[in-house]
Amino acid sequence: MKIIIVGCGKIGTTILASLVAEGHDVTAIDADPAIIEEITNIYDAIGLCGNGVDCDVLAEAGVELAELFVAVTGSDEFNMLSCYLARKMGAGNTVARIRNPEYNDTSLAFLRQHLNLSVAINPERRAAHELHNVLKLPSAAKVETFSVRNFEMVQLKLKPDSPLDGMSLIELRQKYPQKFLACVVQRGDEVVIPSGQFVLKSGDKVGFTATPSEMLKLMKNLGLMKKQARNVMILGASKTAYYLAKLLLAGGSSVKVIEKDASRCEAFSDQLPGVVMINGDGARQELLLEEGLRTMDAFVALTGMDEQNILMSYFASSVDVPKVIAKVNRDEFAPMAEKLGLDTLVSPRKTVADILVQYARALENSMESSVETLYKLMDDKAEALEFAVHADCELVDIPLKDLRTKPNTLIAGIFRNKKTLIPSGMDTIQVGDKVVVLAAGHRINNLLDILE
Task: Supply the pLDDT for residue 369.
Answer: 64
pLDDT for residue 26: 97
Region(s) of the chain under CATH 3.30.70.1450: 143-221, 361-450
Q: What is the mean pLDDT of residues 252-269?
A: 96
Q: Decide if pLDDT at 12 tops 90.
A: yes
CATH class of the domain defined by 361-450: alpha beta
List, as own/partner pairs, every contact residues 81-87 make where C-beta atoms lie below 8 angstroms and the sequence separation is at least 24, other chains included.
81/53, 82/6, 82/52, 82/53, 82/58, 83/115, 83/117, 84/115, 84/116, 85/53, 85/55, 85/58, 86/4, 86/58, 87/115, 87/116, 87/117
Query: What proportion of the chain, given as a percentage, has pLDDT over 90?
Result: 68
Determine the pLDDT at residue 368: 59
For 80, 119, 359, the CA distances from 93, given in Å and listed in that order, are: 13, 8, 10
According to CATH, what is the number of the domain 232-346?
3.40.50.720
Q: Can you give the pLDDT at residue 148?
A: 67
pLDDT score at 228: 85
pLDDT at 343 over 90: no
Percent of the chain with pLDDT over 70: 98
Burial 202-233 (b: 16+ CB within 10 A, else e): eebbbbbbbbbebbebbbeebebeeeebeebb
- Mean pLDDT across the stretch 437-450? 90
Q: Please tell me the predicted confidence (pLDDT) of residue 366.
A: 53
Lowest pLDDT segment from 240-249, 287-296, 310-319, 349-358 = 349-358
367, β-bridge pairs? none
CATH of domain 2-121: 3.40.50.720
Q: How confident is the model at residue 193 (pLDDT cuts 50, 70, 90)?
A: very high
Higher pLDDT among residues 80 and 338, named by residue: 80
pTM of the model: 0.87
Burial of 135 (0-12, 13-18, 19+ CB in 10 A): buried
**pLDDT of 341:** 87
Architecture of domain 143-221: 2-Layer Sandwich (3.30)
Output the pLDDT for position 332: 87
SS3 of 190, please?
strand
Confidence of residue 110 (pLDDT cuts 50, 70, 90): confident
pLDDT at residue 409, rounded to an integer: 94
Residue with the larger pLDDT of the pair 101 and 450:
450
Find the mean pLDDT for residues 206-219. Answer: 91
CATH 3.40.50.720 residue ranges for the chain: 2-121, 232-346
- Inform me whether the pLDDT recorded for 367 exceeds 70: no
Q: Does pLDDT of 152 surpass 80?
A: yes
Report which of 330, 258, 340, 322 is spatially closest to residue 13, judged by C-alpha positions: 330
The predicted-structure confidence for 44-57, as pLDDT tens digits, reads as follows: 999 999 999 999 99
pLDDT at 62: 97
- The overall average pLDDT reported for the chain is 92
Q: Where residue 365 falls among pLDDT bands split at 50, 70, 90?
A: low
pLDDT (mean) for 271-277? 95
